[in-house]
Amino acid sequence: MMAIDARALPAAVAAGLALGLMSAAASGEMAHGALRQAPHAHGGQDRTATPADPVAIDVAFALEPVAGGAIVAGKEARAIVRLTDKASGAPLSGRSVAGWMLLRRNAQVADELSCAAKVKLFNQGRVTARPDVDLNGSRLMILNRDGSIGIADPEIDFTITQLEHVIPLPGVPADWAMSADRQTLFVTLPIFGAIAVIDLDALAVTGLIELGKDTLPTQLAALDDRRAAVFLSGKNSVAVVDAEATQPPRPMVVGRGPVAMAAGAGDVLYVASADGRVSAIDTRISAVTASAAALPPGEPSLAWSTEVGRVYAASSEAGAILALDATSLHSLAEIAAEPGVFTLAAAPDGGHVLALNRRTSRLLLVDTASNRPVAEQPVAQAPVELAFSHDYAYVRGLEGDHFSVIELAELNAGRIAPVNVQSASRPMPGREALSRARMIALYGHGALIGNADEAVAYYYMEGMNIAMGTVKTYGPNVQGLMTLDRGFRETEPGVYETKAVIPYGGDYDVPVVVDVADSATCFTASAQTAPEAREEGSAALLIDADGRSDFVARRRDELVFRIVDKETDHPVAGLHDVRLLAFSAGGTWQARRWAKPLGDGRYASDWVFPRAGRYGVSVEIASRHHGFADQPPIFLNVHRPSEHSVGDEGGKP
């Protein structure tokens, strides 16, 4: 690959390519694989695995009910793929598995499409060409400082919005961390002195861990078993929290913040504070087992190397990176480095540590076997964040107009060969508020890198040297991006599983892909029709505004609308799950509200629109299987406030 000058990119790229281009790239026309592959499962697997040869492997598929009994529409089922080597019968680990389910509504039409054609169809990113069940299930989560988490589908554009769901938070968030099993999300709420616990299956806040209003919880580090470590900046302490614990956690003093945290071997957590202290914590008993004043004061960074069983520490004001003994925290070596190191990270193979110098905009590569620097190169301007995919390292800069991508194979060989990829239409000014934000979301065989100024995330497909498109992040208040991956995950060697709700009864075609689209294999599965689904069905609804459609900006107004059953022409009353999505015509603002029933099929919801313009309001009714995209929105005209109504703010939506 060759580095390119971001300023020479076409204007269409600079402004953000359409999502259709991103989907075309994902279908294989612009990438080094015919399919935007699902993420590799990590955790002790073979990171050097070569793409699967469909002739050399056996692929088996099974669909099993999660709760026992039969597979029934509306219930959750477990999709299981088993991969074995044909020659030896050995299980194949570290593979990328993707799959879809397509209901056979017409057997002749279904048989006319080959298995590979069905895979290509599902990778086009069109609402009209989607599977009935997407077994990959990747979504983009957007943490917003306005107190919400948006859930977007980067591959589907509903024209109205890509947001599928919004999780309201009790307060303004500071940081977030996902549990290893991908079931729980922790979000710190400093003003409330609490941590919100979010169930990622239900996409809802299911609990609140109260730590005290004077604790000010900020930074988080994920641990195992649905646990997390949280820094309490009001107490200069770290506490270990459990999503299911009933007792308040015990804080352990570690020094003033900001801090850096890194999980070591077993149940050990290392914490470095801004006053230079490094502590080792046993997270099972919540006790500090070692502590040392190892660093000069400054913003700290830590990295744990599994290869050598050693922790590396640095301070933004230090002239060296320290290699510390895992148990005693005594210094074993000093690696010379210019002041300005704000970020340390261990390469996935554990053989190297990467140091980002925010002041010099350079990446230093340290060999952990010799504790010596082996390479140094310029990277993204003012680099502050590092993330690793299966094959690449991503570096986000706080300034400039590009991010850097580095092949792990090069790093493992002790070399740095960065490719700079555009992530802004113009150079960005440094924003300190984003220095600790997490704006890199790994997505498939690529990543989404956020740009808060443009309210988009640039999509990079690995193997390319330009961004392939953009995804909206809806507003300038983004604090973090994260991928919610519900796709296939290796649960034991050669066995890959995921869960999904089967929407309809009937026979399904199930294309399964291993590594690349050329290895597509089609299976069949069946589900019984649920009795309640046969009795109730899904009524065709007509939703119209009931009354005026003119509103005034920044003033609280009531939108009233009527829901009618198209088949009977009777009003549909008594619904308590009517949710509205309002959005500006330009897509720069959106908000959601529940509607209250007024009787006789009429419903109402209060709104405060931020500025004059044209707005749309879409309706979702879960109990009637009616989605936001099932009917054109209700359009409203919002006028500028008169001189007499300027002061009537009415609250913020």
E strand or H helix at 534, and its extent? helix 531-536
Task: Classify burial at 170, counting beta carbons within 10 Å of its beta carbon; exposed 0-12, middle 13-18, buried 19 or more.
Answer: middle
Q: Is the pLDDT of residue 644 over 80?
A: no
Q: Is the pLDDT of residue 646 over 60?
A: no
What does each C-alpha distance from 334 to 269, 323, 350, 366 come to in angstroms?
A: 22, 6, 18, 11
Which range, of 80-84, 385-389, 429-433, 487-491, averages the lowest pLDDT?
429-433
Question: What is the residue-averaged pLDDT of the chain?
Answer: 82
**H-only helix segments in 405-482:** 408-412
Q: Is the pLDDT of residue 590 over 80?
A: no
- Contacts of residue 219, defined as CB under 8 A and 6 or more positions apart, other chains included, come to 174, 175, 188, 230, 231, 257, 258, 259, 261, 436
Q: Which two tokens stand for residue 356?
A: 């980002």
Question: How far, rounded to the nearest angstrom, does the alpha carbon of residue 641 sit from its chain's CA centroid?
Answer: 39
In what order do the strands lie in the sheet containing 277-282? 260-263, 268-272, 277-282, 287-293
Q: Is the pLDDT of residue 127 over 70?
A: no
Question: How far, rounded to the nearest angstrom, does the alpha carbon of residue 590 sit from its chain's CA centroid?
Answer: 20
d(CA 556, CA 548): 14
Q: Which two tokens stand for residue 62?
A: 């099974």
Q: Which two tokens stand for residue 220?
A: 């988080």
Q: Which two tokens stand for residue 483?
A: 């991928």
DSSP state of 172: -
Query: Where does the pLDDT of residue 215 fall: very low under 50, low under 70, confident under 90, or very high at 90 and above?
Result: very high
What does each C-alpha distance from 383 to 173, 344, 395, 476 come to in angstroms?
A: 23, 11, 7, 20
Which range, of 43-57, 174-188, 198-212, 538-552, averages the lowest pLDDT?
43-57
pLDDT tens-digit profile of 527-581? 998 764 333 434 578 888 887 778 898 888 889 999 999 888 899 998 888 888 8
E strand or H helix at 22, and its extent? helix 19-24
| β 634-639/550-552 pair status | parallel
> Is residue 631 within 8 Å of 619, Cβ to Cβ?
yes
Q: Is the pLDDT of residue 647 over 50?
A: no
Question: How far, rounded to the nearest angstrom, does the alpha carbon of residue 461 sit from its chain's CA centroid?
Answer: 16
Q: Which two tokens stand for residue 644?
A: 């007499």
E strand or H helix at 501, and its extent? strand 495-501
What does each C-alpha distance from 136 to 115, 123, 326, 544, 638 come to in angstroms?
A: 17, 11, 39, 36, 40
The C-alpha angle with vertex 624 and arms to 508 and 134, in degrees rounded to 5, equals 30
d(CA 253, CA 255): 6
* Confidence (pLDDT) at 124: 54
* Confidence (pLDDT) at 542: 87
Q: Which two tokens stand for residue 481?
A: 């991006």
Encode 285-301: b = buried (16+ Cβ within 10 Å), e = exposed. eeeeebbbebbebbbbb
d(CA 124, CA 24): 6
SS3 177: strand
Measuring CA to CA, which residue among 511, 481, 434 is closest to residue 154? 481
Q: Is cis: bond before 653, omega within 30 of 0? A: no
E strand or H helix at 241, and its extent? strand 237-242
Beta-carbon-side half-sphere exposure of residue 243 (alpha carbons within 13 Å):
25
E strand or H helix at 532, and its extent? helix 531-536
d(CA 354, CA 404): 14
d(CA 160, CA 616): 8
Q: Is the pLDDT of residue 40 over 50?
A: no
Q: Is the pLDDT of residue 507 over 80?
A: yes
* Confidence (pLDDT) at 91: 93
* Confidence (pLDDT) at 163: 77
SS3 218: strand
Mean pLDDT across the stretch 369-378? 96
Encode 8-38: b = buried (16+ Cβ within 10 Å), e = exposed. ebeeebbebbebebbbbbbbbeebebbbbbb
Going 315 to 222 to 405 to 48, the CA torsion angle's sign is positive
The beta strand positions in 555-633, using DSSP E, are 557-565, 578-584, 590-594, 596-599, 602-607, 613-621
pLDDT tens-digit profile of 286-339? 999 999 999 999 999 999 999 999 999 999 999 999 999 999 999 999 999 999
d(CA 240, CA 63): 38
* Confidence (pLDDT) at 384: 95
> Is residue 158 within 8 Å of 628, Cβ to Cβ?
yes
What does each C-alpha distance from 640 to 213, 291, 554, 611, 614 come to in angstroms?
A: 40, 61, 8, 7, 11
Tell the residue number behind the tokens 């340390």, with chain if given.
Answer: 344
Q: Which two tokens stand for residue 75?
A: 């219930």
DSSP state of 8: G
Q: Is the pLDDT of residue 370 over 90?
A: yes
d(CA 466, CA 6): 8
For residue 298, is it left (φ>0), alpha (ψ between -120 and 50) or beta?
A: left
Mean pLDDT across the stretch 416-429? 89
Beta-carbon-side half-sphere exposure of residue 483 (alpha carbons within 13 Å):
25
d(CA 279, CA 423): 37
Q: Is the pLDDT of residue 20 over 50?
A: no
